[in-house]
Structure 1
Amino acid sequence: MLYPWQQTLWQNWQQLLGQGRLHHAILLLASTGSGREVLAQQLAQTVLCQNCDTEPCGVCHSCQLFAAKTHPDFHVVAPLQEGKQIGVDAVRQCNRWAVETSQLAGQRVIMIDHADALGEAAANALLKTLEEPPSGCQFILTAQSLDSLLPTINSRCNKWRLAVPDEQETRRWVERQMMQTVKLESVRLNSGAPLATQQFIEQDQDIRHGNLLDAFCDFLQPPFTGVYEVAALCTSEGIVSLKWLSYFLVDCIKLQQGVSSHLVHSESVDKVQAVAVKINPAVLLSQVRKANELHRKLEKHTGLNEELLVVEWLTGFIAD
C-alpha cells in the first residue's frame, strides 16, 4: 500500500507503464523515512505482474511469489551494513542476473538500494549494463540524493524525486497514525520525513532528545559542569545525538542573528534563547563545524572511543 505523498509520482509511472515508455533504469531520489522502498517495490511488482501493466494484480503467480519474497526474477543489491559501500563483486553478480533468462518467461527486475553507496569500481562495473541493457531487464535504483552518486551513473538513469510532504501535512499524518499530538520540533528534527518522524516518537527518541537537550543546556551555563553526563547521553543515543546538538546550536546562531522563524527547536525556544545569550557567536560557529566533522568521522570509522571524542568536543565550549 502506497503512502499518500507517493501517489502523484506513482501516477506518472503508471502512465509511462501503460504507454510502454518506462525507462530501463529508474533512479528514485528520496529521503530516509519517506517510504521509498515501498514505492520502488510497487514498481518492481508491477513490472513483473503477469496480468496488469499499470498496477500489480496481487493474484497472479508472479505477484504471489513477490509477496512471499521468493520471486526468482527479482533481485536486490544493497550495502551489507549501513554506511558501507556496495562492492564490485555485488555489481558483477548484478550484471550476471541482467543477462540471465527469466525463469517465469517475463521481465527481470534488479533493484539497487542505496545506489549512492556504490564505490567507484562498482559503479564502473555497472556502467556498460546500464548503457546497453539486456532485453526485458528493468533497473530500479534508489538514493537519498545526487550528492554521493557518481555522475556516470546519474547520467544513464531516468531520475525521479519523491518530495516529502509539507511539514504540517507530515505532522497531521503522524498524529493520525499515533492518535496523539506531535511536536513540530519532532518533524523538523527528521527533515519532514513522515515515517522517520513516526519512528522517532515510537522509539521514545523525542523523550531522550529532550533529556539530552536539558543536560546540554545545563552544561552550557557557567561554570560548565556536567560534561560527562552529556557525553554519556550522547554515547547511549549514538551519533544522531551530534546531529541533534548541531541543529540546536544552529538555532542559537539564528537567534543571535535576529532570525526567529523556522527554528528546528520551535517548542524549545526558551532553551535556545538561554544559550544564545551566553555563548559567543564565534564559539557557536566553531562548535557546529566541529560537531559535524565529528559526526562524519564516527560514521565513517567504527570502533572509535565515542564518549572520549564527545568529551573533547564539549570542552571546546570551555576552552574558548
Structure 2
Amino acid sequence: MLYPWQESVWQGWQQLLAQGRMHHAILLVAPYGSGREALARYLAKTVLCQNGAAGAGGEPCGVCHSCKLFEAGTHPDFHVVAPLQEGKQIGVDAVRQCNRWAVETSQLGGERIILIDGADTMGEAAANALLKTLEEPPSGCQFILLASSLDNLLPTINSRCNKWRLAMPTEQDTKRWVEKQLMQTIKLETVRLNGSAPLATQQFIEQGQDIRYAKLLAAFAEFLRPPFIGLYDVAGLCTQEGHHSLKWLSYFLVDCLKWQQGATAHLVHSESLPLVEQAANAIAPMILLDQTRAANSLYQKLERHPGLNAELLIVEWLTGFMAQH
C-alpha cells in the first residue's frame, strides 16, 4: 500500500522501471514515520513480480507466485537488513551477509533485492564492506537503501546511489490525514513534534505519548519557576518516556527563546502558549540557550550509548537550570 505523499516518488520510479533505467542502488532519504519502508517494499514487490509489472511501469499483480511469497514474508530473493534495536548500528557482519546474498543465484529465476533500512546507521567498517559491492554490482541484484538524512552516510556510499528524497506533507495535510485515520481531532503541536511525519504522528497518539508528554511538559514548565521544585519528578517522567523526551523539551526551550525575541509566528508548542510564556519569563535567554545545547548533546549521547544511566544524566542536566540562575 502506498500513502498519498509517496505518489510523486513512486511515479518517478515507475518511469525508470518502464524504461529499464532503474539504478542498481536506490537511496531513499525520508524520516522515520514517513512510511518509507512500505514504499521500498512496494518497489521490491513490483521488481520481483513475475507478470512483468516492472517492465510495464505498472503495479505488482498480487496473484503470481512471487507476489504471494512476498505478501507472506517468505520471498527467497528479498532480503532485509536493519539495526537490531533503536540506537544500534548495522554491523559489518550484517553487511557481509548482504554481499553474500548479492552474488547468490536467484531462487525464483528473477531479480534479487536487498533492502538496507537505516543505512545511515552503518558503521564505517560496514559501509566500506558495502562499498565494493555497490562499485561492482552483480547483475540482477537491486539494492534499496533507506536513510533519515545524508549527514551520517559515508559520501562514498552516497555517490554510488541514485538519491530520492521523500517530501513530507504540509502540517495541515498531515493533521487532516491523521485525524481521518483516528477519527478524532489532534493538536497541531503533535504534528510539529513529529516533524510532520504522518505515521509517526499517528503512532504518537495511538501509544498515548501525547498524553504523557502533556504531563511531562506541565511538570517541566512548573520546575522552571524558581525555586525549581520537582526536579526528580521531571527526571522520572523523562526517563519513563525515553531519551526522545529530551528532543521534545529542547523544542520547548527553543520556543521560549523565540518568545523572548518576539518571534511567535511558528512555535512548535502552538497550543501550550501559556507554558511557553511562563518559562520564557522565568529563565534568562543565555541559560535557555546553554541548556538547549546541553539537552541536544545529551540526547545524542543517549542515542549512541543506550546503556548509560539516563536518569542520572537527566538530573544533572536539570540542575543546570538551578546552577546558572
Q: Who is 2:4 aligned against?
A: 4
Report the secondary structure of 2:215's partner residue.
Answer: helix
Report the secondary structure of 1:147's partner residue.
Answer: coil
CA distance in 1, matches of 2:307, 2:107: 44
Q: CA deviation at 1:301?
A: 1.6
Q: CA deviation at 1:303?
A: 2.7
Unmatched runs of 5 consecutive residues or more in structure 1: none
Q: Who is 2:15 aligned against?
A: 15
CA distance in 2, matches of 1:303, 1:33: 25
Q: Who is 1:115 aligned against?
A: 119
Q: Who is 1:47 aligned against?
A: 47
Q: Who is 1:308 aligned against?
A: 312
1:27-66 to 2 correspondence within 5 Å? 27-51=27-51, 52-53=53-54, 54-66=58-70
Identify the match of residue 250 of structure 2 among 241, 246, 250. 246
Aligned residues with identical type, % of pairs: 74
Q: CA deviation at 1:3?
A: 0.5
CA distance in 2, matches of 1:171, 1:293: 30
Q: Report runs of 4+ in structure 1 exceeding 6 Å deviation.
A: none
Report the secondary structure of 1:40's partner residue.
Answer: helix
Q: CA deviation at 1:167?
A: 0.5
Q: Give the counterpart letter for 1:22 in structure 2.
A: M
Q: Give the counterpart letter for 1:134 in structure 2.
A: P
When normalised by structure 2's length, the TM-score is 0.97
Identify the match of residue 230 of structure 1 among 209, 227, 234. 234
Q: Who is 2:104 aligned against?
A: 100
Q: Which moved more, 1:301-310 or 1:68-77?
A: 301-310
Q: Deviations over 1:132-185 (max 9, x none)?
A: 111111111100010100001000000000011001000000000011101000
1:148-187 to 2 correspondence within 5 Å? 148-187=152-191
Q: Deviations over 1:10-62 (max 9, x none)?
A: 01101111111111110010011000000000000111000022321000000
Asked if the contact 2:81/2:117 (under 8 Å) is kept, the reply is yes
CA distance in 1, matches of 2:308, 2:239: 11
Q: Give the counterpart letter for 2:288 in structure 1.
A: L
Report the secondary structure of 2:225's partner residue.
Answer: coil
Q: Deviations over 1:274-308 (max 9, x none)?
A: 11111100000000011111111112223322222
Q: Who is 2:292 aligned against?
A: 288
Q: Who is 2:95 aligned against?
A: 91
When normalised by structure 1's length, the TM-score is 0.98
1:272 maps to 2:272 = no
Report the secondary structure of 1:50's partner residue.
Answer: coil
Asked if the contact 2:87/2:306 (under 8 Å) is kept, the reply is no
Unmatched runs of 5 consecutive residues or more in structure 2: none
CA distance in 2, matches of 1:283, 1:304: 25
